[in-house]
Amino acid sequence: MSDTSLSSLAAQLAARQVSSRELAQTYLDRIAALNPAINAFITVDAEKTLAEAAAADALRAAGQAGPLTGVPVAHKDIFCTDGWLTTCGSKMLHNFVAPYDAHVIRRFKAAGMPSLGKTNMDEFAMGSSNETSYFGAVKNPWNPACVPGGSSGGAAACVAARMAPAATGTDTGGSIRQPAALCGITGLKPTYGLVSRYGMIAFASSLDQAGPMAPSAEDCALLLNVMTGFDPSDSTSLDREKEDYTRDLNLPLAGLRVGLPREFFAEGLNNEVAAAVDAAVAELKKLGATTVGISLANSKLAIPVYYVLAPAEASSNLSRFDGVRYGYRAPEYANLDDMYCKTRAQGFGAEVKRRILIGAYVLSHGYYDAYYLQAQKIRRLIADDFNAAFKVCDVILGPTAPGTAFRLGEKSGDPVEMYLNDLYTIPANLAGLPGMSLPCGFDSKGLPIGLQLVGNYFSEAKMLNVAHQYQRATDWHMRLPPLGEAPGARG
Amino acid sequence: MSLTPDDVKRIARLARIETSDAEAQATQVQLNSIFGLIAAMQAVDTRDIAPMAHAQEVTQRLRDDVVTETDRHAAFQTIAPAVENGLYLVPKVIE
Amino acid sequence: MKWETVIGLEVHTQLATKSKIFSGSSTAFGAAPNTQASAVDIALPGVLPVLNKGAVECAIRFGLAIGANLNRVNVFDRKNYFYPDLPKGYQISQLAKPIVEGGALKIIVPSTGSGQSEERVIHLTRAHLEEDAGKSLHEDFHGMTGIDLNRAGTPLLEIVSEPEMRSSAEAVAYARALHALVTWIGICDGNMQEGSFRVDANVSVRPVGQTEFGTRREIKNLNSFRFLQQAIDYEVRWQIETLEDGGRVTQATVLFDPDTGETRMMRSKEEAHDYRYFPDPDLLPVRLDEDWIAAVRATLPELPAAMQARFQRDYGVSAYDATVLTGSRALADYFEAAAKACGQGKLAANWVMGELSAALNKAELDIAQSPVSSAQLGALIARIQDGTLSGKLARQVFEGLWEGAGEVDAIIEARGLRQMSDSGELEKIVDDVLAANPKSVEEFRAGKEKAFNALVGQVMKASRGKANPAQVNDLLKAKLQ
């Protein structure tokens, strides 16, 4: 197959071997062919995509092209996109055409990168299987009977099926890393505050962070260069000097200290996943890394803490969906109060309502200290564990998810069972640390297995270096699901 | 601790989500299993631990007091459920 | 039973910033509906707040002005409730760590009847920053309510007093002093009609001697001092009557109806409020560094309390007059300029608070719009002082100044208002009056003091008011001996 890495596509565009318009059309064709079975996209608008691609070509013709100008990407439907339907996977926003661009979208536009469409997701990013979307479940390209993971399931599936060279995702408790693992791609959640949250529909504000999803670490590094940057309209955006995340990709790994948290290899971890992760550790050792056993003792409390803090913030963040200024309004109601109650009962799906109720409960009078405050205190203990660990290691390694892709409907009846999927990913969100997932093998059913790296604050370049070196030595990330040829880039 | 159907109705009321008795029953079961999971938190001694509200120990940046926004109400109101004379319309508010 | 009233006030002051507290929208009053409601103000999905430095600075000014503690780290919280004029479904406010805590305000409670005006100090609990809500317009839109979000996000400083006031008069005096202060330091335009200064009053009563408070009811949104007084007076009467009739006062929020002069319970909510406050994850802790506080302190004008003390010391005015004269910055500046121009503080105070204030009130003008300048008033008072004008003549000159007839001396000349200084001329008038009123002379000699006053009046009349009354007195006394 042809090379669809971002660096290759960029080179072909720069060499005028292909135009952005042609490239976009190729991907649109592949979306048209594959999406009906996968359901990775909520909105595809060929006309808009081709117009943006034509603009990219014009930019190049004018000699104003940047490194990735003309390379198309798909955006999670959580990012407000001016003139595009932006649903967040919810009936509540089934008709919401955003009147402005999220900061992330503005950065892609400024880089001259056309949008291939808006990808499917768990409703309001609440889910680990993409089954909570109002627009239907996404199917895993490796096995359509299985889930792609969530909440950025559409993004992961569309990249795995090469319906897009790369995609944006967001990660509140693992929503980039877990679907990346389940779909066999690479995904990175940056340090909290590196990517602006402005225009990204909020789930849990203190945890949400956008990041890149693509086949390889190198692709992610290139995308991260586009996505990061200070934004004065997000108070939590960090005003730091801009980095080139590709700068350390080719450094050797000699002397790298890899921390292995014993809690991430304990009970509950699938044997095949454990074996693949062990093999990856062996591979890194071959590349010069050493390992050190560490403990993240409080990480076992990450799920309880997360299921207090995230719903609490969400219950408040989602109060704006009231049927007054935009979005869904119930067709019939007796009075104002009834309008609110019916609009929200009908507009939100079951999982979203469940989390709103949990959040309202833990913040309500008499329960705040026992739940919300206690969770915030344990959050600090979890972060402190990481701080201690990074005194003895450079990067922490473990599985991304306890198992591989599960079957559609297998866990949707049991919220607790579903929540346990994010056991290994949530701690990094609570601490605000960067985390990434990269493919490290397949189970006996042929489903991808994800390896997770968690780095210290602002150590994205180091993590990408480790991942890139691993990917140079392995080809798990090159494997394609059995769907047919990738589009391409001629030649 | 566990929630009663009345607790569910009370918080659904706070959250303005219409919930029938049957829904409250079903939700109660699910919420209780989730709160069963959350209960693991309660055993931790956190006496001298400062709560962590943000991922980074940074303080609020301040915006200069200047007007930067222009009137976009026409664009904003094309996506509104009900408007008239520039106003959003809602069922009568009684104070 | 004797009852004691306990009042605490919560005042919402709109801060005089150009832009909103969390967005770059204009805060100008009176724009067409929703034309000053940005993406942030209407709470589009995905938008985020960024705090306005100007609003924080206003709060610092206030904290310094009342000698309060400024919390070097303060935090914004979300107060969650549903209301159509609250677009996010929560109000960003400060609960646990407000920017200002403590502080005090000196008030002068005017005398009632014959009593002395009384000075009191009212302590403040706190003042915190928050955002205003939009407006619900209840005119008929086919049985619907219209929502205008222009006001949503306007910065507010909510100023909470301790429950230290014991009468409506004290509450009004406190509200007036607070109004004077926030306008004085330039953090609020003070326009009560436009809602820039809105008062909520927490009112309870208890038997005199009881230490614990009675159950309070909160009167919402009083937008004039008169309504504040009326509402509290009604509410206190109602609570006392209720209790004396064996009833109970239950905690409630009430509205004051200016038409009936009564308070009434707001439509009761089905459930108790549970605002589910928690720290806003979109906003970080606000840090006030010492340099900033010092810089703000350096820009503070002389404050009313300091100026009152100085007026008493330098101009010999009473404490009460000093308070009235510092009712606004413009009034204080006017008084001081006039007093300096004539060197007569007490006289200047009397004129500013008397003739001038009455004329301004009658014409519904503000001190800043006064047709008579402080320099003119000073010149006028100087002419009283040097004997050129009597009080009565001075009032005529004042009328001339008010009408714009020119400067003081020109009006005196043009209208022939100079006080008679030629004693020969006056003596002739006195002689004529004595000759023409033998009956009064006789009565005076028989011991009727009133007859003397009648003679003075006749002389003044004959001189067409230009005689110096003291001189007339002396002359008449001499002649009648």
A76 is catalytic: yes
Fold of A6-259+388-478: Amidase signature (AS) enzymes (3.90.1300)
Bridge partners of B73? none
Mutate to test the interface with C, among B11, B57, B63 (most CBs of C within 10 A): B63
Bridge partners of C287? C73
Nearest Cα neighbor of A277 from A32, A450, A128, A100 is A450
Residues with Cβ < 8 Å from A39, sequence gap 6 or more? A120, A135, A136, A137, A138, A139, A154
B58 touching chain C per CB within 8 A: yes
Are A322 and C48 an interchain contact pair (Cβ–Cβ within 8 Å)? no
Residues with Cβ < 8 Å from A313, sequence gap 6 or more? A202, A203, A204, A205, A206, A207, A359, C278, C281
Q: What percent of chain B has pLDDT over 90?
A: 87
Provide the token pair at C3: 């009852």
Distance CA C480, CA C452 (A): 9
- Residue-level pLDDT at C465: 77
pLDDT over 50 (residue C269): no
Q: Which chains touch B (3 or more CB pairs under 8 A)?
A: A, C
Distance CA A400, CA A402 (A): 7
For chain B, how big is the Rg over CA atoms in Å?
22
3 state DSSP class of C382? helix
CB A277 within 8 A of CB A263: no
Q: Which of A329, A345, A419 sits opposite B37 (nearest CB)?
A: A419
Are B59 and C37 an interchain contact pair (Cβ–Cβ within 8 Å)? no
Are C46 and A364 an interchain contact pair (Cβ–Cβ within 8 Å)? no
Parallel, antiparallel or unpaired: strands A209-214 and A257-261: unpaired
CB C198 within 8 A of CB C50: no
- Residue-level pLDDT at C417: 77
A175 is catalytic: yes
For chain B, domain boundaries:
5-43
**B93: nearest CA partner in chain A:** A336
3-state DSSP helix/strand/coil % of chain B, to nearest 5: 40, 10, 50
- Residue-level pLDDT at A484: 57
Q: At what angle do helices A374-389 and A302-317 cross, to 10 degrees?
A: 130
Residue whose tokens read 């000349």? C413
pLDDT tens, position by position, A95-132:
999 999 999 999 999 999 999 999 999 999 999 999 99
B89 touching chain C per CB within 8 A: yes
Instruction: Check residue C465 and give left, alpha or beta (phi > 0: left; psi -120 to 50: alpha).
Output: left
Query: What are the DSSP E strand ranges found in B1-95?
Result: 62-63, 83-84, 87-91
Instruction: Write down how long chain C is.
Output: 481
Distance CA A361, CA A375 (A): 14
Are A377 and B58 an interchain contact pair (Cβ–Cβ within 8 Å)? no
Mutate to test the interface with C, among A79, A81, A84, A233 (most CBs of C within 10 A): A233
Bridge partners of A73? A115
Q: Which of B63, B69, B73 sits opposite C53 (nearest CB)?
A: B63
Mutate to test the interface with A, among C91, C276, C280, C284 (most CBs of A within 10 A): C276
Confidence of residue C427 (pLDDT cuts 50, 70, 90): confident
B22 touching chain A per CB within 8 A: no
Span of A196-210, C258-272, C274-288, C324-338 with lowest mean pLDDT:
C258-272
Distance CA A90, CA B79 (A): 16
Q: What are phi and psi of A139, to 5 degrees?
A: -100, 145
Residue whose tokens read 């895993």? A140
Parallel, antiparallel or unpaired: strands A209-214 and A186-189: antiparallel
Four-residue CA torsion sign, B74, B78, B84, B87: negative
Consecutive H or E run containing A38: helix A20-38
* Angle, CA C138 vertex, CA C136 and CA C140 arms, to 5°: 140
Residues of chain A neighbouring C47 (CB-CB closer than 8 A)? 198-199
User: What distance in Å separates residue C47's CA from the closest CA in chain B?
Assistant: 13
Q: Which of A198, A200, A320 sits opposite C43 (nearest CB)?
A: A320
- On the CB side of C170, CA atoms within 13 Å amount to 21
Are A201 and C282 an interchain contact pair (Cβ–Cβ within 8 Å)? no
Distance CA B11, CA C80 (A): 13
Residue whose tokens read 């009042």? C7
Residues C124-133, mean pLDDT to the nearest whole number:
98
Confidence of residue C425 (pLDDT cuts 50, 70, 90): confident
C424 touching chain A per CB within 8 A: no
pLDDT over 80 (residue C326): yes
Confidence of residue C266 (pLDDT cuts 50, 70, 90): confident
Q: What are phi and psi of B3, to 5 degrees?
A: -85, 145
Residue type, A217: A
For chain C, domain boundaries:
3-292, 302-415, 423-480
Q: What are phi and psi of C100, to 5 degrees?
A: -125, 130
- Residue-level pLDDT at A491: 33
Residues of chain A neighbouring C41 (CB-CB closer than 8 A)? none
Is the peptide bond between A90 and the residue preceding it cis, with omega within 30 degrees of 0? no
CATH 1.10.10.410 fits C423-480, yes or no: yes
CB A429 within 8 A of CB A173: yes
For chain A, domain boundaries:
6-259+388-478
- Residue-level pLDDT at A489: 40
Q: What are phi and psi of A463, to 5 degrees?
A: -60, -40
Distance CA A400, CA B5 (A): 37
Bridge partners of A168? A212
Confidence of residue B69 (pLDDT cuts 50, 70, 90): very high
Residues of chain A neighbouring C281 (CB-CB closer than 8 A)? 204-206, 236, 313
Q: What are phi and psi of C108, to 5 degrees?
A: -115, 115
Distance CA C238, CA C241 (A): 5
Provide the token pair at C298: 């350096």
pLDDT tens, position by position, A304-327:
999 999 999 999 999 999 999 999
B47 touching chain C per CB within 8 A: no
Residue whose tokens read 């529909």? A201
Provide the token pair at A249: 């990709």
- Residue-level pLDDT at C271: 47
CB A122 within 8 A of CB A137: no
Residues of chain A neighbouring B27 (CB-CB closer than 8 A)? 353-354, 357
Consecutive H or E run containing A114: none
User: What distance in Å separates residue A242's CA from the closest CA in chain B?
Assistant: 18
Distance CA C126, CA A347 (A): 40
C76 touching chain A per CB within 8 A: no
pLDDT over 80 (residue B32): yes
Residues of chain B neighbouring A454 (CB-CB closer than 8 A)? none
Residues of chain A neighbouring B51 (CB-CB closer than 8 A)? 373, 376-377, 379-380
Distance CA A362, CA A360 (A): 6
Confidence of residue B89 (pLDDT cuts 50, 70, 90): very high
Are B52 and A380 an interchain contact pair (Cβ–Cβ within 8 Å)? yes
Distance CA C335, CA C350 (A): 10
pTM for this prediction: 0.92
C147 touching chain A per CB within 8 A: yes
What's the mean per-residue pLDDT of chain A? Answer: 96
Q: Among A19, A20, A76, A196, which one carries the catalytic annotation?
A: A76
Provide the token pair at A71: 């390379």
- Collect contacts of C241-247 with beta carbons under 8 A, ≥24 apart: C243/C3, C243/C205, C243/C214, C244/C1
Distance CA C338, CA C351 (A): 10
Q: Which of A340, A354, A376 sits opposite B16 (nearest CB)?
A: A340
CB atoms inside a 10 Å sphere around CB A297: 14
CB A149 within 8 A of CB A156: yes
Q: Among A115, A152, A175, A237, which one carries the catalytic annotation?
A: A175
Low-confidence ranges of chain A (pLDDT < 50): 1, 488-491
- Residue-level pLDDT at A485: 56
What's the mean per-residue pLDDT of chain C? Answer: 92
Distance CA B79, CA B87 (A): 13
- Residue-level pLDDT at B95: 62
CB C251 within 8 A of CB C217: yes
Residue whose tokens read 């795995």? A160
Residue type, C173: A
pLDDT over 90 (residue C388): no
Distance CA B35, CA A358 (A): 9
Are C274 and B14 an interchain contact pair (Cβ–Cβ within 8 Å)? yes
User: What distance in Å separates residue B51's CA from the closest CA in chain C?
Assistant: 11
Mutate to test the interface with B, among A377, A380, A433 (most CBs of B within 10 A): A377
Parallel, antiparallel or unpaired: strands A115-119 and A73-76: parallel
- Residue-level pLDDT at A118: 98
Helices (H), C86-224: 168-184
CB atoms inside a 10 Å sphere around CB C297: 12
Are B88 and C286 an interchain contact pair (Cβ–Cβ within 8 Å)? no
Residues C193-218, mean pLDDT to the nearest whole number:
95
Distance CA A119, CA A491 (A): 29
Residues C153-177, mean pLDDT to the nearest whole number:
97
Q: At what angle do helices C469-480 and C449-462 cross, to 10 degrees?
A: 130
Query: What are the DSSP E strand ranges found in A414-461?
Result: 435-442, 448-455
Residues C357-379, mean pLDDT to the nearest whole number:
93
CB C431 within 8 A of CB C401: no
Q: What is the DSSP letter of A147?
A: -
pLDDT over 60 (residue C58): yes
- On the CB side of C326, CA atoms within 13 Å amount to 27
Residues of chain C neighbouring A204 (CB-CB closer than 8 A)? 281
Consecutive H or E run containing A336: helix A336-347
